[in-house]
Copies of this chain bind each other. A is one copy, B any other.
């Protein structure tokens, strides 16, 4: 069905296009050009068309794209037409926020269990789910066919949690703990590193404040 392998950079942008299409639909826009959709997604139209060309030919020359139809095709390509049961491990502040995050539940993702190693927190109700002991992980994975695990534990616990996830059969991990995870090659890990993001901004910000020379006392000589 998919013509060829889709480039990684394109895959990473498909969710953005999907969101842009949803936003157009909310405004009851039925058809859009690559220019309009690209603008809504924050990319240029050449890149958008190139990206979409990897999925197939879902537009009409001279007309544009049917918003609803394109949305379905992208959702199907990503795999959002099926159900994705998810477990979240580590229900601290961040795990709590993730459990309540509507963006997870809105698309095919369904949080089936919240796990925490802390005995004191067990039974507590978060986002309509009871916190369960981490030891139940493999039973839960088996019961619900969980393929995706989210790690929101402290860094020190993350590798061990990840190892248990892999043992339980999970092959896709979203890691919020600030540590590099080692996994077998068949397992995918994506890392969301809040502190890295701030650091990357700081790097560029620093360069803005001192555009030409880091040492202002040198400037007169450069000019002279």
Is B206 a contact of A82 with CB atoms below 8 Å?
yes
Residues of B within 8 A of A199 (CB): 14-15, 18, 78, 80, 107
Asked if A48 is an interface residue, CB under 8 A from chain B, the answer is: no
Asked if A193 is an interface residue, CB under 8 A from chain B, the answer is: yes
Chain A residues within CB distance 8 Å of chain B: 1-2, 11-12, 14-16, 18-20, 23, 40-42, 77-80, 82, 84, 86, 92-94, 96-98, 100-101, 103-104, 106-109, 147-148, 171-174, 178-182, 186, 188, 190, 192-206, 208-209, 214-215
Is A79 a contact of B208 with CB atoms below 8 Å?
no
Residues of B within 8 A of A214 (CB): 1-2
**Count of this chain's copies in the oligomeric assembly:** 2
Is B201 a contact of A172 with CB atoms below 8 Å?
yes
Residues of B within 8 A of A96 (CB): 93, 97
Q: A109-B198, A192-B197, A195-B107 are in contact. Are A203 and B79 (CB under 8 A)?
A: yes
Q: A203-B77, A205-B147, A205-B171 are in contact. Are A195 and B104 (CB under 8 A)?
A: yes
